[in-house]
Amino acid sequence: MTTVTLRAAERAQWPVLENLLQFYFYELSAWYPIRLGDDGRLAVPQRAGYLALPGTQAWLILADDELAGLAIVDDDLVDPRNDLNLGYFFVARRFRGRGVGAAAFGGLLARYPGAWELYYLARNRAAAAFWPRAFERAGVRDVAVSAVVVGGEDCVMNCFVASP
C-alpha cells in the first residue's frame, strides 16, 4: 500500500512547482493548443506572483516519500460564496491508478474544511474520469456539478462542502 503525504511547499521549492506545472500543462496540451516556446518548454506564464498571494498554499504530493505531484489551494473563486478553490492538481502518470490522487485530495479536505469549488476544463477527459471517483473515495457527498465559462474556456464546476 502506498503512503501518500502532503508537504507544504516553501518558497525555495517554487522552482519544483514550476517544473511540475510543465507536466500539468503538457497533459492539458492533449486537448488545448499550448505552444512550445523557443526554449523547448511549454509557453505558460511563471506562477511566482500567484504562489506569493496570501490566499494561495502549494503542496507537494509524495508517494512513499517520492515526489509524485502537486496541489495548490487558493481563494481565486468563481463564486464568492465559496471559501476555497483547487487551483491546480497534478499526479505524475506512473502514480495514477494507485489511489495517490484520491488520498492527496482527501488530505487537502482534512486540512481545509469549508465550501469548495473545483473546476476543470470541459475537454479534459482525464479529469472528468478522475474527479467523481476522488469525491467518492474522499467521502464527499452532494457535489453540485454545473457548466461554467472561466477565462473564456468551457469548464465543469464542482461545488461541495468539506466538513472538519
pLDDT in tens, 25-70: 999 898 888 889 899 988 888 889 999 999 999 999 999 999 999 9
| Domains of the chain: total | 1
pLDDT for residue 46: 86
Q: What is the pTM of this model?
A: 0.94
Q: How far, rounded to the nearest angstrom, does the alpha carbon of residue 148 sit from its chain's CA centroid?
A: 18
CA pair distance 57, 54, nearest whole angstrom: 8
- Print the domain residue range for 107: 4-162
Q: What is the CATH number of the domain that holds 37?
A: 3.40.630.30
pLDDT for residue 1: 82
pLDDT in tens, 92-124: 999 999 999 999 999 999 999 999 999 999 999
